[in-house]
């Protein structure tokens, strides 16, 4: 039975965006496609949450934006990770590991 | 990303809204197009693909809104809406706007004016290169509490030994007649200064050179440097001015340079000659009176300089204790050279500034009460907004924005008012100091300094917080829920006991302060416009000065004797020549102008000697034998002075009527003996002998009329020969023209007799009176009246608010009772009487406070007309309060029962 696609939790969305951008700069559409791909269609990012998240991350200085040309010659806004963003990503990853590890322990222990 | 980039990003979202919106649009559209393409690839038709994409994407506007929220600046656009609303509120409630803006504007104006005056005149910056490092030095006499100026020896010592201060310079201000051939003769102020003084200022000359050390040598050519204005006005901008000779008094000087426009260093000087003073010719604490200044050496600090100076001072005191034991050398701000006001206690200045700022707090609290009363009528609106999701912060922010608009308007008006007052003050000071050389160069009329605007902004925000936030917090309190239920009007909010008490307290304070203020204003007005009681407009007054040198200590006694003899001779001749002039009717002379005599303590024969606390003070004048004749002062008893009374052994004196009444208790004054008290604290005035008994030989009428309240009016006069004391004042009664027109003729005659003679402070006598103390009194009276008016206005507004609030609150009750047949007048009377009752309490408490205040201040208000004044003020306040309450009362009468009941449903 395939799991229905679920909305990504707020907060983890930031983490996913940052991780996606470690490989290369991407536009919003590309990010949502990549997340969907990598999660094997489990995580489908709600566009309503994606763009506010992107702009929020930009305001915080964790990602930077630049207008460029997409693969099909359209004008698109590309986002890339900033040095601050890289640092924050490491921190977020560490706390995510800690969190999920703890949950796993509890579930296995019971 | 650096902070700079983040700030730039925020600014961009703020300022380039359209561009940012457009980009967002484009970004979201791109995403949509990609989704459509994806759908087509998945097999949908283009139309279907687009529809599906739209559904998946969701509402675009909502996304945009969320993105905008992410930018974190939505509150700003909400704020701008609030400001527009605030502006509309101002227009909708003109009464509150007028009272609030006016009241706060006056408070802000006072605060701003005081602040500007402090910055510009008390602690001004020096407009010189590295002006902060230019300082002055003085030798403070700890016994007499005055600076000792005859410190030529100390100056030389300091110049050599005080390392942290470089280019130590000394100067003294002397006056000389400037005699330009073919031009008019005018006394000018000259700075006798060491050449190093120019190097302290670091301003290069416009033409020629400034002074150098060689000019100070004895026997060097007498030189002078002149200022730009003088060059233009007295020498017509002569391009060959350098090398020209000019006469200053009895000596001739060669011009060696011209300083640029605006240069008036050290304070307000336009002529500079070298200071030639050899310390070896004088004993310690003798010689010319000088002022010392210098520039801190590079790297030196004030503390270092003061420490070394103190050490040097101690060494000198140990070396010559008789002269220097009580002298304490110290470094003072450069501005002390002009105004002797000690500004080192700057914390006092800040304290007064704080008190003045509190004035705004008082006014703001007042206005807050009015705003609170108005907010009560908007309960419904607020309740609805709260129900729609506005947080308490939001609503308070809106009310704060409205208050900020009000405070902002008040700030603008207040700044304008302060600007006008400050520039008038500046003009006033320019006039006042014109005869003394004008304002110092560091007192520029820069209008209001920029820091004042910042201060006013701070005041405005403070006012807005008090006026907006406090009532808002009260309004959005727990009673919000009940407000919503009783949306149609009714008994929701209470004008709580606190607020009512505040209004009553304000009335009480107003009543308490009013009698004293009105009385003071009245006195100021009375004396500010008082006539001197004689024909002062026919007289030209002047002080007769003669050029003095600084004799060496050995020659001092002989020089002073010669000077005194020469002065007597000149003065007597001058009086003769003036009397012979056809433009002169009469001439007389005295030591002090009528009304400006000094006071001294005296003893009366036959009276037990008194303790110092109850000493009798009278004014004493030393006057010409013909003084009373010339001024038409009637003789009441005894005789006038005659020339036989003159001489060092003179004992006759003449007193005025007030003297007889106050000092002698009435009765016969002739033959009574008076002498001056001379013990440790007081010495007999110059020209009188200590311990000498003087006999009253005549009584004259009071002269002149009193020109200030509470001053000593008992006078005692001594006879004086022409030039007997220095400097003597002349009063010339002119005929066939005005005194002002005679001024140049007076100078002509005087300098024609001797170019070393200088008439000083030449002015018509009536102007001396009206433009001196009287001008200040008049200004003071107007200021007090303005404050009184503001207080009354605010009190009236408070009562209006109180009454209006009560009527609004009880609308439904009034409506129902009227509908049930009750007489609306009776209901209203009950409300009215309650308000009047509270008003009366305030007035009564106020009168009590006023009486208490008067007691503290000496109790002289309650005698005589004072009691009437209390009653008048009480009546005035009651009337104002009643008038203020009438408006709301009439509104209450017009309440239609049906309207009220309908609104309830």
- Are the C-beta atoms of B27 and A67 separated by less than 8 Å? no
CB-CB neighbors (< 8 A) of A58 in chain B: 9
Across the interface, whether the CB atoms of B66 and A51 are under 8 A apart is answered yes
Residue of A nearest to B63 (CA): A48
Q: How confident is the model at residue B15 (pLDDT cuts 50, 70, 90)?
A: confident
Q: Which residue of A17, A45, A59 to mutate against B (max B Cβ within 10 Å)?
A: A59
Residue B684 has pLDDT above 60, yes or no: yes
pLDDT at B905: 46
pLDDT at A2: 38
pLDDT at B563: 94
CB-CB neighbors (< 8 A) of A61 in chain B: 1, 5-6
- Are the C-beta atoms of B782 and B351 separated by less than 8 Å? no
Mean pLDDT across B592-603 = 90
Mean pLDDT across B175-198 = 87
Pairing mode, strands B616-623 and B715-719: parallel
pLDDT at B190: 92
CB-CB neighbors (< 8 A) of B33 in chain A: 74
Q: How confident is the model at residue B855 (pLDDT cuts 50, 70, 90)?
A: confident
Element (H, E) at B140: strand B134-141
DSSP B274: E
CB-CB neighbors (< 8 A) of A80 in chain B: none
Q: Of B801, B828, B631, which Cα lies nearest the Cα of B731?
A: B631
Residue of A nearest to B34 (CA): A29
pLDDT at B445: 67
Residue B741 has pLDDT above 60, yes or no: yes
Residue of B nearest to A53 (CA): B70
| Alpha carbon distance B438, B341 (integer Å) | 18
Report field, pTM of the whole predicted structure over 0.95: no
- Residue B272 or B801, more confident: B272
pLDDT at B881: 82
Residue of B nearest to A86 (CA): B1
Helix axis angle, B60-71 relative to A47-60, nearest 10°?
Answer: 20
Structure tokens at B564: 């005194």
Number of alpha helices (DSSP H) and beta strands (DSSP E) in chain B: 28, 22
Residue B488 has pLDDT above 60, yes or no: no
Q: Residue B2's CB: how many other CB atoms inside 10 A?
A: 10
Q: Residue B288's CB: how many other CB atoms inside 10 A?
A: 20
CB-CB neighbors (< 8 A) of A52 in chain B: 63, 66-67, 69-70
pLDDT at B198: 92
- Residue B804 or A25, more confident: A25
Q: Is B62 on the interface with A (CB under 8 A)?
A: yes
Q: In Å, how far is A100's CA from the nearest CA of chain B?
A: 28
What distances in angstroms separate CA B881 from CA B85, B97, B517, B832, one per listed residue? Answer: 31, 19, 19, 11
- Are the C-beta atoms of B712 and B658 separated by less than 8 Å? no
Residue of B nearest to A79 (CA): B27
CB-CB neighbors (< 8 A) of A68 in chain B: none
- Residue B238 or B682, more confident: B238
User: How many CA atoms are closer than 13 Å to the CA of A17, on its beta-carbon side?
Assistant: 33
CB-CB neighbors (< 8 A) of B5 in chain A: 61, 64
Across the interface, whether the CB atoms of A46 and B31 are under 8 A apart is answered no
Q: What is the pLDDT of residues B296-347, one digit of tens each?
A: 999 888 899 999 999 999 998 898 888 888 888 988 888 888 776 655 556 7
Mean pLDDT across B223-236 = 91
Q: How confident is the model at residue B490 (pLDDT cuts 50, 70, 90)?
A: very low
Q: In Å, how far is A17's CA from the nearest CA of chain B?
A: 16
Across the interface, whether the CB atoms of A48 and B1 are under 8 A apart is answered no
Mean pLDDT across B98-123 = 84
Handedness of CA B590, B593, B595, B598 (dihedral sign): negative
Residue B142 has pLDDT above 90, yes or no: no
**Looking at A76-90, B435-449, B859-873, which range is the least confident one?**
B859-873
Mean pLDDT across B691-715 = 88
Mean pLDDT across B626-649 = 89
Question: Which of B1, B35, B63 minimises the CB distance to A51?
Answer: B63
Q: Is B11 on the interface with A (CB under 8 A)?
A: no
Mean pLDDT across B279-304 = 88
Q: Is B67 on the interface with A (CB under 8 A)?
A: yes
Q: ipTM of the assembly?
A: 0.85
Q: Of B405, B320, B359, which Cα lies nearest the Cα of B110?
A: B359
Torsion region of B201: left, alpha or beta (phi above 0 gives left; psi -120 to 50 gives alpha):
alpha
Across the interface, whether the CB atoms of A52 and B63 are under 8 A apart is answered yes
Question: Which of B26, B37, B67 minimises the CB distance to A55?
Answer: B67
CB-CB neighbors (< 8 A) of A28 in chain B: 27, 30-31
Cis peptide before A106, with omega less than 30 degrees from 0? no
Mean pLDDT of chain B: 83
């Amino acid at each position: 039975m395939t799991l229905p696609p679920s909305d990504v939790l707020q907060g983890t969305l930031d983490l996913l965006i940052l991780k996606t951008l470690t490989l290369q700069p991407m536009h919003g559409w590309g990010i949502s496609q990549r997340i969907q791909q990598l999660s094997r269609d489990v995580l489908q990012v709600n566009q309503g949450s994606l763009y506010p998240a992107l702009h929020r991350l930009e305001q915080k200085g964790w990602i930077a934006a630049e207008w460029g040309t997409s693969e099909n010659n359209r004008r698109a806004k590309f986002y890339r990770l900033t040095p601050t963003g890289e640092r924050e990503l490491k921190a977020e990853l560490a706390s995510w590991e800690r969190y999920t590890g703890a949950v796993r322990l509890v579930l296995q222990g019971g | 990303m650096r902070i700079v980039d983040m700030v730039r990003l925020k600014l961009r979202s703020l300022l380039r809204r359209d561009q940012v919106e457009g980009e967002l649009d484009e970004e979201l559209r791109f995403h949509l197009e990609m989704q459509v393409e994806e759908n087509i690839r998945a097999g949908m038709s283009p139309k279907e693909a687009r529809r599906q994409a739209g559904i998946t994407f969701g509402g675009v506007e909502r996304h945009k809104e969320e993105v905008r929220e992410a930018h974190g600046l939505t509150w700003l656009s909400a704020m701008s809406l609030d400001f527009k609303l605030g502006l509309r509120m101002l227009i909708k409630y003109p009464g509150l706007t007028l009272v609030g803006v006016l009241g706060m504007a006056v408070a802000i104006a006072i605060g701003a004016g005081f602040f500007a005056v402090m910055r510009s005149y008390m602690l001004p910056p020096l407009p010189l290169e590295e002006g902060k490092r230019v300082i002055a030095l003085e030798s403070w006499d700890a016994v007499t509490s005055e600076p000792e100026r005859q410190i030529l020896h100390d100056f030389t010592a300091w110049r050599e030994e005080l390392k942290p201060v470089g280019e130590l310079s000394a100067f003294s201000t002397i006056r000389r007649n400037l005699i330009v051939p073919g031009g008019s003769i005018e006394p000018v102020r000259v700075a006798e200064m060491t050449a190093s003084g120019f190097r302290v200022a670091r301003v290069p000359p416009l033409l020629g050179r400034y002074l150098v050390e060689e000019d100070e040598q004895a026997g060097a050519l007498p030189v002078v440097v002149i200022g730009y204005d003088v060059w233009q006005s007295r020498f017509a901008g002569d391009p060959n001015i350098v090398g020209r000779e000019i006469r200053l008094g009895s000596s001739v000087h060669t011009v060696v340079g011209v300083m640029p426009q605006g240069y008036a260093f050290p304070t307000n000087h336009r002529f500079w000659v070298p200071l030639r003073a050899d310390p070896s010719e004088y004993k310690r604490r003798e010689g010319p009176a000088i002022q010392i200044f210098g520039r801190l050496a590079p790297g030196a600090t004030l503390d270092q300089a003061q420490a070394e100076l103190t050490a040097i001072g101690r060494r000198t005191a140990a070396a010559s204790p008789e002269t220097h034991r009580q002298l304490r050398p110290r470094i003072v701000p450069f501005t002390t050279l002009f105004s002797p006001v000690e500004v080192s206690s700057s914390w006092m200045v800040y304290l007064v500034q704080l008190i003045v700022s509190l004035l705004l707090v008082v006014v703001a609290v007042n206005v807050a009460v009015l705003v609170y009363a108005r907010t009560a009528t908007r309960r419904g609106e607020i309740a609805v907004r709260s129900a729609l999701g506005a947080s308490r912060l939001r609503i308070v922010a809106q009310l704060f924005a409205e208050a900020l608009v009000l405070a902002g308007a008040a700030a603008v008006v207040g700044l304008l008012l302060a600007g006008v007052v400050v520039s008038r003050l500046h003009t006033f000071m320019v006039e006042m100091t014109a005869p003394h050389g004008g304002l110092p160069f560091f007192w520029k009329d820069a209008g209001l300094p920029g820091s004042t605007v910042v201060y006013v902004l701070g005041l405005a925000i403070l006012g807005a917080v008090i006026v907006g936030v406090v009532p808002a917090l009260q309004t959005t309190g727990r009673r919000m829920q009940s407000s919503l239920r009783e949306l149609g009007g009714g008994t929701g909010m209470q004008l709580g006991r606190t607020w009512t008490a505040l209004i009553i307290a304000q009335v009480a304070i107003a009543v308490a302060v009013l009698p004293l203020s009105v009385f003071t204003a009245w006195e100021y007005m009375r004396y500010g416009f008082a006539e001197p009681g004689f024909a002062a407009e026919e007289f030209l007054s002047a002080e007769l000065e003669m050029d003095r040198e600084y004799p060496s200590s050995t020659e001092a006694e002989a020089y002073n004797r010669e000077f005194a003899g020469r002065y007597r001779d000149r003065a007597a001749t001058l009086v003769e020549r003036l009397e012979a002039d056809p433009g002169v009717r009469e001439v007389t002379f005295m030591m002090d102008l009528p009304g400006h005599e000094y006071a001294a303590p005296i003893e009366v024969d036959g009276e037990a000697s008194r303790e110092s606390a109850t000493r009798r003070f009278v004014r004493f004048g030393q006057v010409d034998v013909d003084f009373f004749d010339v001024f038409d002062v009637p003789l009441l008893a005894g005789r006038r002075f005659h020339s036989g009374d003159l001489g060092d052994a003179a004992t006759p004196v003449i007193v005025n009527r007030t003297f007889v009444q106050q000092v002698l208790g009435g009765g016969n004054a002739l033959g009574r003996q008076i002498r001056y008290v001379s013990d440790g604290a007081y010495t007999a005035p110059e020209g009188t002998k200590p311990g000498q008994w003087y006999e009253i030989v005549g009584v004259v009428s009071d002269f002149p009329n009193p020109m200030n309240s509470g001053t000593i009016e008992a006078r005692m006069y001594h006879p004086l020969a022409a030039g007997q004391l220095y400097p003597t004042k002349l009063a010339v009664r002119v005929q066939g023209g005005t005194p002002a027109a005679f001024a140049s003729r007076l100078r002509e005659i005087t300098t024609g007799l001797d170019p070393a003679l200088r008439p000083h402070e030449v002015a018509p006598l009536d102007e001396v009176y009206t433009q001196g103390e009287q001008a200040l009194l008049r200004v003071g009276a107007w200021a007090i009246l303005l404050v009184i008016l503001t207080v009354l206005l605010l009190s009236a507004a408070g009562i209006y608010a109180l009454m209006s609030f009560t009527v609004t609150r009880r609308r439904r009750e009034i409506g129902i009772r009227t509908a049930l047949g009750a007489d609306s007048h009776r209901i209203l009377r009950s409300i009215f009487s309650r308000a009047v009752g509270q008003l009366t309490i305030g007035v009564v408490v106020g009168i009590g406070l006023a009486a208490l205040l008067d007691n503290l201040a000496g109790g002289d208000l309650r005698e005589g007309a004072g009691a009437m004044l209390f009653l008048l003020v009480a009546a005035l306040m009651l009337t104002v309060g009643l008038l203020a309450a009438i408006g709301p009362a009439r509104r209450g009468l017009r309440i239609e029962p049906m309207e009220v009941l309908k609104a309830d449903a």
